[in-house]
Amino acid sequence: MDISSKDLHVAILSSPGMGHLIPVLVLANRLAASHKIKVTVLLVTTGVALPESNLLKLPLDQSLVEFIELPPVDISHLVGPSTQVVTQLCIMVREALPLLHSAIASMDRRPDALFVDPFGTEALPIAAEFNMAKYVYVPSTAWFTALTVYCPVLDKEIQGQFVDQQEHLKIPGCKVVRPEDVVDPMLDRNDQQYNEYIKIGKQIPLFDGILLNTWEELEPKTLQAFKENHILSSLVNFPIYPIGPLTRPIEPAGSDPDLIQWLDKQPNESVIFVSFGSGGMLSAQQIIELAWGLELSQQRFVWVIRPPTKGRVDDAFFNVGNGSDDNPDYLPDGFLTRIRDVGKLVPMWAQQVKILSHPSIGGFMSHCGWNSTLESITSDVPIIAWPLYAEQRLNATLLTKELGVAVRPKVLPTKEVVGREEIEKMVRTIMEGKEGVVMRDNVKKLKIGAMNAHENNGSSYKSMCELVMDIIVRKGDIIGV
Ligand SMILES: O=c1ccn([C@@H]2O[C@H](COP(=O)(O)OP(=O)(O)O[C@H]3O[C@H](CO)[C@@H](O)[C@H](O)[C@H]3O)[C@@H](O)[C@H]2O)c(=O)[nH]1
């Protein structure tokens, strides 16, 4: 019996958070649409509504993509007010593992492979029990992944906090990491999220391969380092599948037709879009500086606005779906009247891809979540990099220092307030300065490279075919053909 991709069933486990679910849905779509694979997406839920009801309609081929929301997990007895997001995510998925087990056990057609995101690596024994091939899907860069799998080595080599190191962190074969760019879980080695992160780094290499939402031409050096086994030196031929960029399609006609009509009336590349992902929030003082900076720049803008955070900058991560903000009384006096003709505020959540891909958008002030970054690149839009949490400082450094498609503030926005003059300057730089023209040119070249990667002979297309072939071979081994 010959097995083809049409005979395959893949289950994908998504941890909570829009930044995790969206890339999983997009991957599910791709497997179904291009390879006719049946896909079941299993989402770990927390009882909070998703901010976008249309999201689940994303699959192009509803007959091949099934979506299962696992029953909500309650972790309130396991966390406190100071528990960090990464720790919460790991606990949520851990608590959901028995639910995942029952969901798979009750499937009529047992999946041939289980994909998990980095927070789902503890599902490994479930994949083994059900004879499934197992892969980790990291919806981010190869650089971040290298840091994650190499962190257990750095843990042994380096004394003291990573952020206090005088020298850059070295990962064999890869670009160095500046101490100030380390991911959030590496900021404090005494916090539980550091231990969770180390555990993830140790577990990833136990899978059958890693899928990355990047492409060969974007990160050649780091991908080469993986292939030549510099990073995972204990393993021979550990497969890496750079299958990106996978980005969500433009949202269907939706909630804010007035905004799109307004954008239709603006000149090409004249509007800056300001949004900090699904979880990003700013302090009260930073919101005031940002409002002034936008106003002083005299550029048109669309700003996804949320109330000031009372605590952390990632405070909206688990509950953005619950909020509303119709009364932004924290903005400077008279701001709304003064910006009436040039600025639009969208409370809490916007149709980001629809906005970014609109011809009138000429810049994106972004927290540099990797989905937002890819959406910006594939819409030809240069970036003001405003990293807040997770691996976003690494992404901002990649965008500014290596790819030349972004500017960023001199200070880290999580440490100091970025002043209105600097904001004004950055906005003008990308919207009307010479540097902005260069960045726009660079981003257009990146977009062409990204599109080529998905062509029939493109690197990501080939990588995806190799992945599908790997699942077929493993299924063949199991059923003995
Ligand atoms: O108003 C909004 C805000 C966000 N989005 C969408 O939500 C997603 C947000 O994803 P991302 O930009 O990656 O940010 P986060 O939600 O913060 O994502 C988390 O997950 C990413 C993938 O692992 C990491 O790169 C980030 O750092 C991490 O914070 C994107 O598709 C956006 O288009 C909207 O559609 N409307």
Averaged pLDDT, 17-46: 94
Sign (positive/negative) of CA torsion 16, 257, 274, 217?
positive
Q: What is the mean pLDDT of residues 33-52?
A: 89
Q: What is the pLDDT of residue 227?
A: 87
Residue 387 corresponds to which amino acid? P
Cα-based distances in Å from 123 to 113, 168, 185: 12, 34, 21
Could you identify the residue written with the tokens 């981010």? Answer: 140
Asked whether the predicted pLDDT for residue 49 surpasses 90, the reply is no
- Closest by CA to 39, choosing from 62, 19, 21, 17, is 62
Q: Quick one: which atom of ligand 1 is closest to the CA of 391?
A: 27
As a whole number of angstroms, the distance between CA 10 and CA 127 comes to 11
Q: How many residues does the chain have?
A: 481
Ligand 1, pocket-test mutation among 20, 246, 278, 306, most atoms within 8 A of CB: 278
3-state secondary structure of 78: coil
Query: What SS3 state is found at 38?
Result: strand
Render pLDDT for 166-213 as a digit per residue (tens, 0 to 9): 999 999 999 999 999 999 999 999 999 999 999 999 999 999 999 999
Catalytic hit among 20, 35, 358, 367: 20
Per-residue pLDDT at 54:
65
Query: What ipTM was estimated for this complex?
Result: 0.99
Cβ count near 404 (within 10 Å): 16
Mean pLDDT value across residues 387-403: 97
Q: What's the gap in Å between 7 CA and the centre of ligand 1?
A: 32
What pLDDT, on a 0 to 100 scale, did the predictor assign at position 61?
Answer: 67
* Rounded-to-integer distance, Cα 275 and Cα 344, Å: 12
Mapped onto helix, strand or coil, the DSSP state of residue 79 is coil
Say yes or no to pLDDT of 321 above 70.
Answer: no
Instruction: Identify whether 2 is a catalytic site residue.
Output: no
Of 4-18, 239-253, 410-424, 462-476, the one with minimum mean pLDDT is 239-253
What pLDDT score does 57 carry? 61
Residue 63, pLDDT score: 84
Asked whether the predicted pLDDT for residue 353 surpasses 70, the reply is yes
Q: Specify which residues 300 forms β-bridges with.
A: 271
Distance 158 CA to ligand 1 centre (A): 32
More confident residue, 404 or 82: 404
Q: Which atom in ligand 1 lies closest to the alpha carbon of residue 280? A: 17
Query: What is d(CA 452, CA 37) in angstroms, rounded to the nearest whole number?
Result: 23
The whole-model pTM stands at 0.96
**Cβ(382) to ligand 1 under 6 A?**
no
- In this prediction, residue 440 has a pLDDT band, given cuts at 50, 70 and 90, of very high
Ligand 1 atom closest to residue 356's alpha carbon, by position in its atom list? 33
Residue 236 has pLDDT above 70, yes or no: no
Torsion, Cα of 274, 277, 283, 286 (10° steps): -20
Q: Do residues 279 and 315 make contact, with C-beta atoms less than 8 angstroms apart?
A: yes
Tokens of 142: 């190869």
> Is 223 a residue whose pLDDT tops 90?
yes
- For residue range 298-315, list pLDDT tens digits in order: 999 999 999 998 877 777
Q: ∠ at Cα 402 (354, 165), nearest 5°? A: 115
Instruction: Give the rounded percent of residues in the chain with a pLDDT score beyond 90.
Output: 80
Residues 388, 392, 398, 399: is their CA dihedral positive or negative?
negative
Q: Is the pLDDT of residue 345 over 60?
A: yes
Q: Give, for ligand 1, the residue of 29, 282, 370 to mutate: max count of ligand atoms closer than 8 Å to Cβ.
A: 370
How far, in Å, from the CA of 279 to the mean position of ligand 1? 8
